[in-house]
Amino acid sequence: MEDTQTGPQGEELRPGPTTQGGPARITVLVPAHNEEAGILETLTSLQNQTLVPDRIIVVADNCTDATEAIAVAAGAEVVRTVGNTDKKAGALNYVLSGLLPTGKPEDMILVQDADSQLSHDFIELAVGHLLSDTRLGAVGGVFKGGHGGGFVGHLQRNEYARYARDVRRLNGKCLVVTGTAALFRVRTLRDVVAGRLSGALPPGNGSGGVYDTSVLTEDNELSFALLTLKYRILSPADCTLVTEVMPTWRELWAQRLRWKRGAVENCVQYGWTWVTKPYWGRQILAMVGVVVTIAYFSTIAFALISGAGMNIQPFWLAVTGVFILERVITVRLRGWRYMLAAATMYEIVIDLFLQAVHAKAYADAAFNKKKAW
């Protein structure tokens, strides 16, 4: 009898993808900087896939903890960056510069954050999506927040549930293939490199690599690059994973400020094109939201300070009702208890927090304040 291997859920392990040029190899890159706390769980999720990758490479970037030792003990390859000062983007470019010239065009590369764990069939499903469309440049994942973080972690999990709902309603259509997990063909990444060298894309700080090391949000910029090259991007609802939440307000502020400012500067970097129009639209709406929020609370403050008192208008009652309904419906993926809680409007805390982040990001970009990670 022929032996078969089974995965963590008892399912048969699938053979690797086959293309016209023969079997395609799958290589996973896990950029990591001092990730000893979660790297083992991440590697375990990769080794337990129904479609096991051919290579798992941990890109140890200036690590001073036990990340490398844990990765080696878990059976992963480890590549240590040499002289990299460009953080995650530079570390990935360093490894990709060696992988892309030697890989076959239809080989696949999965780039995954070290603090994220894939569902057991993520790679198999992502490969299926990629093989079904020759102009699909990248397949990302729909993520939910991991445990911990107290109240701020809870708010992020709600936020990610809303994001997952939006992606599912759009059948996987997304604006950005996030760095949490994204699968590419080798030929696609070669096209990006060629585009940077030819001037069809921003040069990437002159490095000529896949990732632009001059920006704060390399995944957002790479999404722009793929779309500019007329590739499509997708985050299918069946490709799921769990990612770390920020455990404190301070860390969440730093993360979201980087995301927001990076998104704004990517729009400026690419200018007004058929690709960037939807992104510019989102930035304009966000700016309007900041202005309206400031005006709204300024009006309340003036009424209280001046002693004029507050008059509740039917219009604002209606707006409040719509806001509550939106909060309740969009968190449906988390269950009825969370829907009931959302009706209390307690999440206005993070809404105001994010508005403050947006305002700071616009100000930093406008005054060209020094970028920080």
What 3-state class would DSSP assign to 269? Answer: helix
H or E element that contains 19: strand 18-19
Could you tell me the pTM of the whole model?
Answer: 0.87
Closest alpha carbon to 30 in 70, 85, 3, 64: 70
**Reading across the β-sheet that carries 232-234, which strands appear in turn?**
77-80, 55-60, 26-32, 108-112, 181-185, 136-140, 232-234
Q: Which of 128, 81, 89 is nearest to 108 (CA)?
A: 128
Residue 189, strand partner residues? none
Distance, CA of 88 to CA of 57 (rounded, Å): 14
Q: Where are the domains of the chain?
A: 18-247, 277-366
d(CA 326, CA 206): 45
Q: What's residue 3's pLDDT?
A: 36
Let me know if domain 18-247 sits in CATH 3.90.550.10.
Answer: yes
| SS3 track for 293-360 | HHHHHHHHHHHHHHCCCCCCCHHHHHHHHHHHHHHHHHCHHHCHHHHHHHCCCCCHHHHHHHHHHHHH
Strand 22-23, strand 55-60: pairing: unpaired
Q: Determine the pLDDT at residue 11.
A: 44
C-alpha 335: how far from its chain's center?
Answer: 24
Q: What is the pLDDT along the chain (373 residues), one digit of tens a residue?
A: 333 333 434 444 455 676 555 578 999 999 999 999 999 999 999 999 999 999 999 999 999 999 999 999 999 999 998 788 899 999 999 999 999 999 999 999 999 999 999 999 999 999 999 999 999 999 999 999 999 999 999 999 999 999 888 888 888 888 899 889 999 999 999 999 999 999 999 987 766 799 999 999 999 999 999 999 999 999 999 999 999 999 999 999 999 999 999 999 999 999 999 999 999 998 888 888 778 777 767 776 777 777 666 666 676 677 678 878 888 888 888 888 889 998 998 988 998 899 899 889 989 988 877 665 5
* β-strand pairing of 26-32 with 22-23: unpaired
Instruction: Give how far the C-alpha of residue 112 lies from the chain's centroid of Cα atoms, to the nearest Å.
Output: 10
CA distance 312 to 126: 51
Provide the edge-to-edge strand list for the sheet that holds 142-145. Answer: 116-118, 240-243, 142-145
